[in-house]
Amino acid sequence: MTNPIRHVVIVGGGSAGWLTAGVVAADHCAKSESGLRVTLIESPDVGPIGVGEGTWPTMRDTLRRIGVTESDFIRECDASFKQGSRFNQWATGAEGDYYYHPFVLPQGYTDTSLVASWLQRHSDVPFADLVSFQPHLCVHGKAPKQMSTPEYAAVANYAYHLDAGKFGMFLRKHCTEKLGVKLVLDHVVAIQTRDNGDIAAVQTREQGPIEGDLFIDCTGLQSLLIGKHYEIPFLSQKHVLFNDTALVVQVPYPHEDSPIASQTISTAQTSGWIWDIGLPTRRGIGHVYSSAHTTDEAAERELRSYVERTGGPANAPSPRKLSFHPGYRTKFWHRNCVAIGLSGGFIEPLEASALAIVEFSAAMLSDQLPATRSAMDTVARRFNDAFLYRWERVIDFLKLHYILTRRTDSAYWRDNCRTDSIPDRLQDLTEFWRYQPPSRYDLPRIEEIFPSASYQYVLYGMGFRPQSPPAMRRSDDPERADEFFREAAALTGKMLKALPTNRELISHIKRNGLPRI
């Protein structure tokens, strides 16, 4: 049990496998003869699922960590800039029903209470529009930085939209050519175990057994190692979040210079919602829905109607159907096997949490990588505790979008508001928030997956209001809050004049690149 960890074997490629390989190989000098060996086994027949194609701002740190240049990434992955999400028709279903969840914190968020002043003096203005400049950048299709801003630096906090297939190939090339990751193109057909229950090797069809000290399961929904081999139970969340099917289609722009949206657009439908993601060469659109509340045929009709209404062709190709079971494993690290990506769990594409969970998993694995097998169980307990907590927080935050709706036009929206579909922990929080806004005290861990500001954006964007005005507190300084509202407005005017559009910046990067620090 004191055997040193010298060889990490990752089973499965795609975004999860290659991001994990990149982080571990970069951090542990896989290219050096004295560094950690990293091998990735990828089936030549399994392509990426590519649901959502959205990321969080954390992706900038991850790409920088593994030595990727931002200019190359944008050029080769058909990437664009994302500054948050816009939600249409979630609260009431009316045409003018919208709100933003931007990536920038509200102006003055840590200095004073903004909510009390907003409610008392400016309740006719959408919360995010008042406290942040970023929704206004999104409305005008602006980029989050200037052409002279260095790689990964930001004027406004940002993430990316990307082509998942191209991203996987880009990471594969970088990891194998720059970071020393060994690629094995083959099928895993069996798993060999040691007497103590650890995985000793994975048996491949053409190249025989590949031995390792630590195995990473990135086999997606197949979950070959953690699910099929170790039979770690799967904790279904279908009773909380109902969506289990998506219809996905790629839609061309009407013109080569058509604007590129600066945010993910999420538009509520009868029994689900449609995502709309703008890449430089196309839009990625998908309808995610509950198969218990609608049919595939009805969902496709709504998808096609949306595509036509938003400038897409009337004869869009037949969508690709994806099915999934929302939930996660009860353990992600068992013995010498770690599940990262879809093998560990998946809920739905709302708020693009899937790739973020991959990033957090790869980072913790690499940062805490045990030196020996004897230290592995301690790290595994920490890892499992951290990610059970994170999955619970993801579920709470996603469910929050549904329980605040005032839509009653279908069983789907009515069922989402049933008390028995809402986790107890979320019920407790929403009751507490009737008397004071979400704060860091509601989210006790240092590395929370969603900050309290995100809860405020969704709560107040969906029309949530306290039951009665709370007693005045010293932190409720209306004059100070108004100063921050004016700051946000001034920044809005300044940035709208100074920033290029999303398409202008991406075109510049393709021609000239971004400055390197």
Find the catalytic residue in 31, 82, 142, 166: 82
The reply, when asked if residue 143 is annotated as ligand binding, is no
Rounded-to-integer distance, Cα 51 and Cα 438, Å: 30
Tell whether residue 50 is among the known ligand binding residues.
no
- Is 238 a known active-site residue? no
Q: What span, in angstroms and rounded, lies between the C-alpha atoms of 69 and 516? A: 8
Strand segments, DSSP code E, in 127-170 are 159-161
Residues 358, 41: Cα–Cα separation, whole Å: 18
Angle at 245 between CA 241 and CA 247, to 5 degrees: 135
Q: Is 54 annotated as contributing to ligand binding?
A: no
Pairing mode, if any, of strands 182-185 and 37-42? parallel
Flag whether 351 is marked binding.
Answer: yes
Q: Is 38 annotated as a binding residue?
A: no
Smallest Cα–Cα separation from 264: which of 370, 159, 409, 114? 159
Q: Which amino acid is at 487?
A: E
Q: How much is the CA Rg of the chain, to the nearest whole Å?
A: 23
For 441, residues 6+ apart whose C-beta sits below 8 A from its C-beta are none
CB-CB contact of 277 with 350 (8 Å):
no
- 248 SS3 class: strand
- Cross-strand bridge partners of residue 9: 39, 215
In Å, how far are 79, 92, 97, 267, 342 from 88, measured between CA atoms? 24, 9, 6, 5, 28
What is the distance of C-alpha 422 from the center of its chain? 22
Rounded CA separation 112/454 (Å):
17
Q: What is the 3-state secondary structure (H, E, C) of 174-228?
A: HHHHHCCCEEEECCEEEEEECCCCCEEEEEECCCEEEECCEEEECCHHHCHHHHH
> Is 16 part of any known ligand binding site?
yes
DSSP string for residues in 282-340: -EEEEEEE-TTTS-HHHHHHHHHHHHHHTT--TTPPPPEEEE---EEES-SEETTEEE-
Q: What are phi and psi of 337, to 5 degrees?
A: -135, 130
Q: Is 448 exposed, middle or buried (0-12, 13-18, 19+ CB in 10 A)?
A: middle
Whole-angstrom CA distances from 226 to 44, 119, 332, 387, 512 are 21, 49, 7, 15, 45
| Binding site residue list | 13-16, 82, 188, 342, 351
| Binding site residue list for FAD | 13-16, 188, 342
| Binding site residue list for 7-chloro-L-tryptophan | 82
Catalytic residues: 82
